[in-house]
Amino acid sequence: VWEKREEEWERERAARDRLMNEVLVGRQRQIQEKMEFNRRAQEESVKYREQLIKDLEETKERTRREKEQEEELKRARRQELAAQVQHRRFRQQEEEQRQREEEEEARSTRQHCEELVRREAGRLAERGYRSRVGAGQRGGPGGWLTPTPARRHHPRFSVFLLRAATRRQNTHLSCAGC
């Protein structure tokens, strides 16, 4: 009887040991699977973090390059605008210089013509030229050759006077630009 009991206890103990071993093996397998899962998750997390860092660095580099390009474009635009402004100023200065030269040439020509007219009038006076008497006549008081203030300032009056005087005396007098 005791032997049977001992055999039964031995079988029960062996069954418990087997069951315990199976439970321990199963539990150890679960722990290993969980550890493997955690290890893979950590590796993926590290890879993901590394990829994020790489992407961030690439984004920073791309942003830096774009900013440099924008600065270069701005610098080029500023230089182009400065060149345009300088060119406009230069053209304006040239135009102002040309106008001054034209005005000076016109003033010089006008003075030269007026001087010629004065000389011719003096020469005519020395020769005894007298204008016809009578208002409204060409040479008389109030006539065409009388230098009234309005006529005196008219730009063509000196030319008119010079041509009239030269026609009357059949004298050829040239005035460049008149």
Per-residue pLDDT of the chain (178 residues; tens, 9 = 90+): 778 888 888 889 999 999 999 999 999 999 999 999 999 999 999 999 999 999 999 999 999 999 999 999 999 999 999 999 999 999 999 999 999 999 999 999 999 989 888 888 888 877 776 554 444 444 444 444 455 554 445 555 555 555 655 555 444 444 444 4
Q: Tell me if the pTM is above 0.85.
A: no
Q: Is residue 8 part of a domain?
A: yes
Instruction: Please name the residues in contact with 144: beta carbons below 8 A apart, sequence gap of 6 or more.
Output: 138, 160, 164
Q: Is residue 178 part of a domain?
A: no
Could you tell me if 147 and 157 are in contact, meaning their C-beta atoms sit under 8 angstroms apart? yes
Both structure tokens of 159: 């030319």
Size of the chain in residues:
178
Q: Is residue 78 part of a domain?
A: yes
Q: Is residue 53 part of a domain?
A: yes
Q: Is residue 83 part of a domain?
A: yes
Distance CA 72, CA 56 (A): 24
Q: What's the confidence (pLDDT) of residue 21?
A: 93
Could you tell me if 175 and 162 are in contact, meaning their C-beta atoms sit under 8 angstroms apart? yes
Element (DSSP H or E) covering residue 72:
helix 2-126
Which amino acid is it at 99?
Q
Q: How many domains does one find in the chain?
A: 1
Q: Is residue 177 part of a domain?
A: no
Q: Is residue 176 part of a domain?
A: no
Q: Is residue 159 part of a domain?
A: yes
Which residues span the domain enclosing 128?
Answer: 2-169
Could you tell me if 111 and 176 are in contact, meaning their C-beta atoms sit under 8 angstroms apart? no
Could you tell me if 146 and 82 are in contact, meaning their C-beta atoms sit under 8 angstroms apart? no
Distance CA 144, CA 139 (A): 6
